[in-house]
Structures are given as structure tokens and as C-alpha cells.
Amino acid sequence: MKKQVARLTCLGLLLLVSSCRSNSSDTNAPIEITLSGWQSNPNESKLLTKVINEFEIKNPNIKVKREVINSQYMDVIRTRLIGEVAPDVFYLEAFEAPTLMKSGVLEPLDGYIKPDYDIKDFEPSLINAFKRDGKLYAIPKDFSTLALFYNTTAFQNANLKQPPETWAELTQFAKRLTVDTNRDGKPDRYGMGVAPELPRQLFMIKAFGGTLVDQQNYASFASPNGVKGLQLVIDQYRRDRTVAQPSDVGANSNSEAFGQGKVAMAIEGAWAIPYLKDTFPDLKFATAEVPTINGKKGTMAFTVGYGMNRQSKHKDAAWKLIEFLTSKQGMKSWATEGLALPSRKSVAAALRYDRNPLYAPLAAGAKYATIWQSGETLPTVMTSFDNQFVSALLGQQPLKDAMQKAQDTANREIYLSN
């Protein structure tokens, strides 16, 4: 009995001492901040770890905890934001930004930016993607546009010397590149692959002056001008039969179909380059700018930024991390994987992306690309578009009717949800 009492007292004392100690050391203890994102590939992850280590050496009082969310990224982030346990700094896609910027969960960053940070160095269109009412809510970390990937072997076999420069030319080329070697009536290789999704088709809507949404964020893509661009793709698929969806040729994605040689051209982003090189080492391919439509250049741009949680307890430390990761030096040390292009013009130039024959067309697209982003109604608009566009592609209904139906459905839902 006595022994037990003694033991208990000891334990109590121990607790007291240890709690005292932890209290006193709190002032010197490093601040821990959390960074959440996804992992594109293991190499990229290692590079990021290296950059973070450099940051921790430079800022010995800040410790960075990395959290990786590889599935349903935004669903998880939103859940954690609602539960007020969200990370201090997290990846934010431009596509998702409007809802978060509006809801007030992001910290405006303008106050933190110092002149020597050189914010003017960023592509302006990328910065604008994260602005609302004049305030900046995230710093773009990298981006990619879409470019035309073409199989040079297939081009040689079809006696094509140059990539197409106009969409009319592309349509002609696609016919010559479609081959049916075993003559079973079903092409063994199609001229081009198509991904029937709004993020890949939005610039086609805009080619003839169409718009995705109007001033009030209601869908407006079914206008005659909007349909005109999309009709080009439908005609290639239905009339010429020179274009295929990934599922038509048994592939999981457009870039896989291209890698397998089942389509000779594909409009893809920077991420496809390391993928194709690693997975299909024998494939010979090159890239070019997306052919002009209606005499105008056009493509899509996708960008991801670092956003700061408004409820973060260590906002200064969080900004230091964002600042370091997006500084000229920080960006340089991990934009070498080639999955995307650096968002700073000076870094892109230093890494010579504009001179690299594979990346130059992607870099050039930045000037005229449509950023994949719209208002808060975009999810509704996109679901509706994707749902009906495929149906037009499959010939279940004329494109005009399909788009009108998609637009009406989207707008009714937008109206009802307000």
C-alpha cells in the first residue's frame, strides 16, 4: 500500500515536472506548420522534401509537416476546413478557387508580399486566377497549357512533314493518319484522340466567340458561336471517323491511347511528357502549338497555387513557407520534373523551357490560353456539359440540341440553388 502511494506521488510529480518543462520550453519550441497537397509522382515528392529541408535549415524555428491527400483532394480539404482542422498551407486548383475565395476561408496574401518578392515576375493571367475583388488569395506554383502531341513515325509514314497549323489542316491530316491495317473496317490507328470533357473543350467553345457563362454565371455555351467550334470535333468523330475516345481504343486516357500508338495526335499537357517518355520509351513524338481555329490561336491553361488557411495560427510562418516555395530559387529547385511549367517567367527562362523543343509550344500557349476556371457555378455547368457532349459525340442527338439541353439543365439548377 505504502509502495503504491509512493509510486503514485512519483507519477504525479513526474507529470508536474514534465508539464512544467514543456511549458517553459514552449517559447523556444519550433512552430509547426502543415502543408497539404497531392503527390504527382515519387520523384516530385522527393524534390519537394529536399526544398522543404532547405527551408527548415534557413528557418530553424519552423518545422513543416507534410500531409499527402491522394484521393478526392478537394472533398477532404473542404471537410477539414469545415472541421477547422485544415492545414496552414495547401494546394489549390484554379478551378476550385472561386468557391473558396468567396467563402472566406482563405487568407488574403497582399499584405504579406514585399517588393523584393517580385510578384510581377509571374504570368499575369495565372495571378489573376487567384484574385477576387482585387485581393490575391493564392500564389500560383506552376501551370501547364495544352499542346498538340503528334507521333512523328506516323507522320513520316503518311508523308507529313510538318504539324498542322490550322484546324482545317488538322482535319485533313487526321484523315491521312487514320489507318486500318487489318482491313476489318475498324481503324487500327485513328488520326486523333479526343477527351470529351469541358476542361479540354472550353477553348473550342471560345474559338468562334462563344462564351461558357454569362455575366451572372449562368451557362451560355449553347449559343450558335459556341456550338460552331464544338461541331468541328463532332464532325471529325461522326462524319470522318478519324477521331477516337480513349474507350473506343481500349485505353484509360487520351495520353495512354497516344502512347500505345492507337491515335496519331492528341491535345495534352506538360504532364504527358514525362509519362510518355517513361512508359513508352520507343515512342517518337513531338509537340506543336494547338492549330489555329477561325484564324486565332487558342488553348487551355491549368494552374495550381498555394493558398493559406485563414484560421492558421502561424500565418507569418505559413507565408514564409509559401514565399520560399514560390521564390525564384525555391521554384527553380523543384520545377525540373517537367510535369508542369514554372509560373515565374524568369524561372521558366532560366530552366530554358522556352528553348526545349517539347516544352516550347506549351510555354508559348501561356500568352493566349483560356484559364480553366469560371465562377462558382462551374461544377454544375461542367457536369451538365460532360453529360450531354458525349451523347452528341455518340450521335444520340444533334450537337445543337444536346448543348441546348445541357445549358437548360445547368441553368435551371443554378436558378433553383439560389
Partner 1 sequence: MLKSKFFNRRNVREALSGYLFMTPTIVVLGVFLALPVLYAIVLAFHKVNLLGDVSYRFTGLKNFVRMQDDERVWIALQNTVQYVAIVVPIQTLLALGLALTLNTKIRGRSWFRVAFFLPTVTSSAVLTLIFMWIYNSNGLLNSVLSFFSLPTYNWLGDPEVALKGIMIMNVWATAPLFMVIYLAALQDIPESLYEAAAIDGATTWEKFWHITLPFLRPVTFFVIVMGLIGTFQLFDQSYIFSNGSGGPNNATLTIVLLIYQYAFKNLDMGYALALTLMLAFVIMTATLVQRQFFGEESLD
Partner 2 sequence: MKKSLHWPIGLLYIGLILYAVITFIPFTWALSASFKSLAEISSGGSNFVPQTFTFDNYKQIFLQEPLFGRWLFNSAIVALIVTLFNLLFNSMAGYALARVQFPGNRFLFFLILAVLVVPAQITLLPKFLILKSLGWLNSYQGLVVPTVVNATFIFMMRQFFLNFPKELEEAAALDGLNRFETFFQVVLPLAKPALAAQTIFIFMGSWNEFLLPLVVMSDPTMFTLPIGLNAFKGQYITYWNYIMAASMVFTLPALAIYAFFNRYFIQGVTFTGGKS
CB–CB of 64/55 below 8 Å?
yes
Residues from 14 through 53 that contact partner 1 (CB under 8 A): none
**What is d(CA 130, CA 318) in angstroms, rounded to the nearest whole number?**
18
- Grid cell locating 392: 452528341
**What is d(CA 136, CA 381) in angstroms, rounded to the nearest whole number?**
25
User: Is residue 356 classed exposed, middle or buried when 0-12, 13-18 and 19+ CB atoms within 10 A define those classes?
Assistant: middle
Stretch 270-299: interaction string toward partner 1, x if CB under 8 A:
------------------------------
**What is d(CA 289, CA 300) in angstroms, rounded to the nearest whole number?**
11
Q: Under the criterion CB under 8 A, does residue 379 sit at the interface with partner 1? A: yes
Q: Give every CB contact of residue 159 below 8 A, 6+ residues apart in sequence.
A: 176
Q: Under the criterion CB under 8 A, does residue 383 sit at the interface with partner 1? A: yes
Alpha carbon 239 to its chain's center: 32
List 105, 301, 304, 308, residue binding partner 1 (CB under 8 A): 105
Between 164 and 269, name the residue whose CB sits nearer to partner 1: 269
Q: Under the criterion CB under 8 A, does residue 182 sit at the interface with partner 1? A: no
Query: Considering only CA atoms, which of 298, 1, 319, 313 is closest in space to residue 137?
Result: 319
Q: Under the criterion CB under 8 A, does residue 398 sit at the interface with partner 1? A: no
**What is d(CA 363, CA 265) in angstroms, rounded to the nearest whole number?**
19
**What is d(CA 296, CA 276) in angstroms, rounded to the nearest whole number?**
29
The binder of 256, among partner 2, partner 1, none, by C-beta within 5 to 8 A per type, is: partner 2
Amino acid letter, residue 295: G
Residue ranges with strand state E in 48-182: 62-68, 89-93, 131-132, 135-136, 138-151
The binder of 67, among partner 1, partner 2, none, by C-beta within 5 to 8 A per type, is: partner 2
Count the alpha carbons within 13 Å of 274 in the hemisphere toward its beta carbon.
Answer: 14
Report the interface residues with partner 2, using CB under 8 A: 34, 36, 38-42, 65-72, 76, 79-80, 82-85, 87, 250-252, 256, 259-260, 262, 271-272, 274-275, 278-281, 339
**What is d(CA 231, CA 223) in angstroms, rounded to the nearest whole number?**
12
List 35, 81, 207, 371, residue binding partner 1 (CB under 8 A): 81
Stretch 183-212: interaction string toward partner 1, x if CB under 8 A:
--------------x---------------
Q: How far is the CB of 262 from partner 2 (least distance, A)?
A: 7
The binder of 223, among partner 2, partner 1, none, by C-beta within 5 to 8 A per type, is: none
Q: Under the criterion CB under 8 A, does residue 248 sit at the interface with partner 1? A: yes
Between 335 and 381, name the residue whose CB sits nearer to partner 1: 381
List 219, 251, 276, 362, residue binding partner 1 (CB under 8 A): 251
Between 105 and 230, name the residue whose CB sits nearer to partner 1: 105
Amino acid letter, residue 29: A
The binder of 39, among partner 2, partner 1, none, by C-beta within 5 to 8 A per type, is: partner 2
The binder of 5, among partner 1, partner 2, none, by C-beta within 5 to 8 A per type, is: none
Q: Give every CB contact of residue 405 below 8 A, 6+ residues apart in sequence.
A: 388, 397
Between 208 and 334, name the residue whose CB sits nearer to partner 2: 334
Residues from 295 through 334 that contact partner 1 (CB under 8 A): 310
Between 115 and 281, name the residue whose CB sits nearer to partner 2: 281
Count the alpha carbons within 13 Å of 183 in the hemisphere toward its beta carbon.
Answer: 0
**What is d(CA 140, CA 124) in angstroms, rounded to the nearest whole number?**
10
Alpha carbon 261 to its chain's center: 25
Between 116 and 184, name the residue whose CB sits nearer to partner 1: 184
Residues that bind partner 1 (CB under 8 A): 72, 75, 78, 81-82, 99-100, 102-105, 197, 245, 247-252, 310, 379-380, 382-384, 386-391, 393-394, 396-397, 402, 409, 413, 416-417
